[in-house]
Amino acid sequence: MTMNDPNVRQIIQDIRSAYIPTAAFRRLEEYFDQLLEQRRADLADGIVADLRGIALVGRSGAGKTTAIKELRRRYQSRLLFEGPEGESELVSLKVPSPATMKVVGTDILHALGYKLQQDRSSAVIWNLVKRHCKLRKTLFLHLDEAQDLAQHQTIKERQAIVNTLKSLMENSQWPVGLMLTGMPGLKRIINQDAQLARRIYPIEIERLSQYSSHEEVFSLVSVYCDRARLQMGEDVMSDEFASRLMHAADYEFGLLAQFIVEAQTRVLGQDGINGCLRKEHFAETYRMRTDALPALNPFIAEDFHRIDPRQSFNDDEEDDDA
């Protein structure tokens, strides 16, 4: 069997789209559900109350983007979205760079379907944001890469951003719940103001531990293999392999899941259904992702802990231009 087999292609699509909930995701879903149900109840009773928000923090590769995509998928039947001019209960956008008040407000307006026809001041732009959130019945505003709101900003500028974010949740006409996702630098924004911190449910995606996460790794590999109908080779069932896989993924859950799916894709493409997942498939996956020499491949090298898994073209050569 090969990739041309429709059954194989279907299985590959299935494991690529599969999502294994983590403790952080379960908290995200719990908090979001609570906020959504409370807002629905307030709207039904004609109550306007200050809202809370959620901040999902994690390093690159932790799985933040995937978690939000899964949350949107699970709630797609419970959230209204009628296109660029109709009601939209969840609006999502990536924070632009540079993240000035004016630029961020303008991009939010664009996400809400409103295009500025002329240059406006920050105050006017944010008033328009509040107005169009109400017009589109927006319940939640999701800002991805929200740590950029604090980059290259003075303390005064960061406080202005914090005050604006709070004003969205406190708007007496139409409060909006905030969902902020970003790198650990996002904590600076939240902790900038005690009032904002109290109104945000914080969730941090913890890194895997080389000392205590082996069972979690085995469980994840096993679940994906069951889903892909693949056997597990003995060399992917040891503590040493779990350590190598965690290091290759820089101890980030999201990257680890990517490695598993990509290695399984290689097995399915080469051997089809009922193939066997082995360490060599992970070594090949790492080589494809980094072009590293065998001596710098965590699945091959003896002293793999010295390898920086975030490096590509990791061939240990000096920079010719140095």
pLDDT digits (tens, 9 = 90+) for 235-270: 999 999 999 999 999 999 999 999 999 999 999 999
Is the confidence at residue 322, as pLDDT, over 80? no
Domain locations along the chain: 23-204, 209-306
Options 3.50.50.60, 3.40.50.300, 3.30.450.40, 2.40.30.10; CATH for 23-204 is 3.40.50.300
Q: Give the model confidence (pLDDT) of 33-43 as tens digits.
A: 999 999 999 99
| 209-306 is classed CATH 1.10.3470 | no
Residues 6+ positions from 183 with CB-CB distance below 8 Å: 57, 58, 59, 60, 145, 147
Which residue do the tokens 């994906």 mark? Answer: 224
The backbone torsions φ and ψ at residue 302, rounded to the nearest 5 degrees and listed phi first, read: -70, -50
Nearest to 246, CA basis, from 264, 259, 233, 231? 259
Is the confidence at residue 298, as pLDDT, over 90? yes
In this prediction, residue 192 has a pLDDT band, given cuts at 50, 70 and 90, of: confident
Helix axes 155-170, 101-111, angle to 10 degrees: 30
Asked whether the beta carbons of 200 and 52 are under 8 A apart, the reply is yes
Taking the whole predicted model, whether its pTM rises above 0.85 is answered as: yes
Q: How far apart are CA 81 and CA 85, in angstroms?
A: 10
